[in-house]
Amino acid sequence: MNKWLKWLLSIAGVLVVLAVAAVIVVNMYIGKSKPLIDGEVSAAFLDEDVTIVRDSFGVPHITAESDADMYRAQGYAQAQDRLFQMDLSRRQASGRLSEVVGEAALGTDKTFRTFSLRAAAEASYDGYGDEAKKVLNWFAEGVNAYMEEAKQDGKLPYEFKVLGYSPEPWTPIDSLTIGKYMAYDLGGHWDTLAVRHWALNNFTEDKAKELFITYPDNAPSIIAANVANPVTVAGRFNPDLVPPEFNGSNNWVVSGDKTASGKPILADDPHLGLGTPSIWYQMHLQSPEQNVSGVIFAGIPGIILGHNEDIAWGVTNVGPDVQDLYIEKPNPDDPTQFLYDGEWEQAEVRDETISVKGKPDVPFEVVVTRHGPIISNILYKEEDPGALFSMQWTALEPTKELEAIMNMNKASDWDSFEKALENFNAPAQNFVFAAQDGTIAYKANGRIPIRKKGDAQLPVPGDSSDYGWTGYVPYDELPRVVNPKKGFIATANNRVIDESYPYHITNLWAQPYRYERIAEVLSEGDDFTAEDMMALQMDQKNLYAREFLDDMLNTIETKYEGKYSYVAEMLREWDQIDSKDSPAPLVFHKWMKQLPITMFSEEMPEDVYKLMPGKGQIIDQMLRDAYAGKPGTWVTEYGGVDKWVFASLEQALEDIEGLYGDKMMDWKWGDFHQLSFPHPLASASPILEYFLNPKKQAIGGSNVTVQAAAFKEDGTVNHGAAWRFVADFSDLSKAYHVVGPGQSGHMKSKWYKDQADDWAEGIYHETSTDGEIEDGYTLKLKAGR
């Protein structure tokens, strides 16, 4: 053997040994940070002993002798499984990621400091009563107890080591700030107003009005103000920081008249971003005062969705117009003053200097007018802007959602539950409800503004007292249903009011197809079981195709001499189920996603196009009108609906063939439509991605099916029901859950991604609230006060 080859082989052998040794060392280090979940630990922060039993799916069942110790133990258990997620969440919402990530997060920090979530949390804390403040502090005591224990034992989650920092003590404001972030994630439409403002200033009025759901013909003064005072939109916002459109959900409740057992059944599957760990954390909390089970956001006390021994509840997002943009006119001589009723009014200027890892601090100021923070110059400050946007938002006011959660958890009937909801102000949610006495009910809650002028379709003048809010829709007049004759209530971010409703909620509801499919199934049966409800949550029937596909295929078959007749034939034979093994959903969804690109992308800057919400609803209406013989300006200027539809199909097929070849019957929806649960650190390295992310897998469903599985341009499924829940009142001592991808945030835990496959396949686990837990891990927290 050549001596050089021997030398290279010996070197390679050494490198392999070193690599293996490194893997072993890293593995041991990461494993060391796993929390203790079986045995006993001293817990000086408790008044009395507490038991935490984790069941076979990692769900903590906490049994305490008082609410105080229960909430302390809840904080302790959450920190055991989700401390890094909790810390990252409070940092993002507070605009403090740059401190630990570096200047790459600077734009994100500026955005969240401008949106003022932490300032709103501080104002909310001051408005809470003593009991809620105690709960927040008890919870923080538990988080901090585990944090100190982990620091002393060298068991902090490994992510802190990777990023090179140690977490600060937890505070009540941190919990409330995370709550405000959820309001941000679920409760905004400022981007809609900004894009419409841009459209009025860049298109003819006819073209601009077709980008509205309902054009405000009755408000010419508002339209004129938008044209006369253009605010720079293109290049001023990062569309990647805007929450996914229609962060929504499905929920429904069926009365005993329509179930096999004669008892109600409730189902809920909230749709948010998918990630590792899950945005939801499932828990069971028990004290002499309550016995409640369900999910909560890591970092917050209580149970926000779930059931107790008497009732169950679930939510979807109402999506009301709760953010208004005001066109503010700054003083050319002092940009912190703004015109209001003919005089210059001084704005609040908040110093928000940002610390950046490895770099000098970055000076930053947030300017707050009487309406709210100036948001239109976050990324780029103009020398002499003629006008800027400020934002008024219900979530920036003091609110008391935690008090609502505390009272919901202890409610025993509809009256006490509805009373509890009165403090759930932001985000506005559609609550469905069921009780042991057979009551089923629905309530849309939250602060929904009443405006002096306008209906939240456009930014309004900020220099006049003629505009603004006069109050909110009275709580007793919010949409409400109790025990309807049809025997069920369902919502899916769809329109929940009719034309007779006296108040404005929004004009931009979600596409109706999920709701229509739920209602279709629930209307047809009268002996439903919990298994039927789980099957409905996994339903892949595509009613979007039912509405539009025939007309679109007629275009292809009759107008273009059968050029794509083989595609049309395949789609004609499709059962309109978004199955992962079928080629039809791939063609249909790529086609539908291409329609707005074909129509709009060359007419708008890329960031404005990405920022524009409601593309689906706008395109749907353009198709309806055009196929009804009433094409609008956009379709007419393009050359007609047939040309538009054909060009979009042609581009969609070209894209598919580029990915999967030209043999159509080899195409599969699941080859493109791939489930992902990304970890926040995974994007930094392919190695981290391999170890931290659950393996991608083919999945059916889509953004318009009840089995919600919304996807990015590359097909990655990144949005859906991270938690699914069914409560059957024939036995409310248990309920059915699935949390994707799992309960634990620790990559070495058996519960890190154990539910990823179950989530994809619709396999649920039972969670008991009666103390009977098999194969559990019991941790005794021994009080030492």
Helix (H) or strand (E) holding 286: strand 280-287
Helix, strand, coil shares, percent, the chain, to 5: 40, 20, 40
d(CA 407, CA 416): 8
Is 255 among the catalytic positions? no
- Active-site pick, 89, 94, 175, 249: 249
* Token pair of 7 as six digits: 């030398």
- The closest of 493, 509, 590 to 545, measured between CA atoms, is 590
d(CA 517, CA 520): 5
d(CA 406, CA 296): 12
Cα angle at 463 between 460 and 468, to 5 degrees?
A: 50
Cβ-based neighbour number of residue 534 at 10 Å: 19
d(CA 269, CA 711): 17
d(CA 568, CA 562): 9
Which residue(s) pair with 267 in the sheet? Answer: 252, 726
Q: What is the DSSP string of 372-432?
A: -BB-TTSS---SS-S-EEEEEEGGGS---HHHHHHHHHH--SHHHHHHHHTT--SS-EEEE
Give me the count of residues in the chain. Answer: 785
CB neighbour burial string for 35-63, b if at least 16 within 10 angstroms, e if fewer: bebeeebebebbeebbebbbbebbbbbbb
642 is in an annotated binding site: no
Backbone phi, then psi, for 640, in 5-degree steps? 105, 160
- Contact, 673 vs 711, CB < 8 A? yes
> At residue 44, what is the residue type?
A
d(CA 297, CA 303): 9
DSSP state of 346: E
* Token pair of 190 as six digits: 């400022």
- Contact, 432 vs 313, CB < 8 A? yes
324 is in an annotated binding site: yes
- Contact, 62 vs 87, CB < 8 A? no
> At residue 766, what is the residue type?
E
- The closest of 265, 300, 298, 303 to 286, measured between CA atoms, is 303
- Contact, 284 vs 729, CB < 8 A? no
> At residue 442, what is the residue type?
Y
Binding-site residues, in ranges, read: 321, 324
Query: Catalytic site residues?
Result: 249
Binding-site residues for Ca(2+), in ranges, read: 321, 324
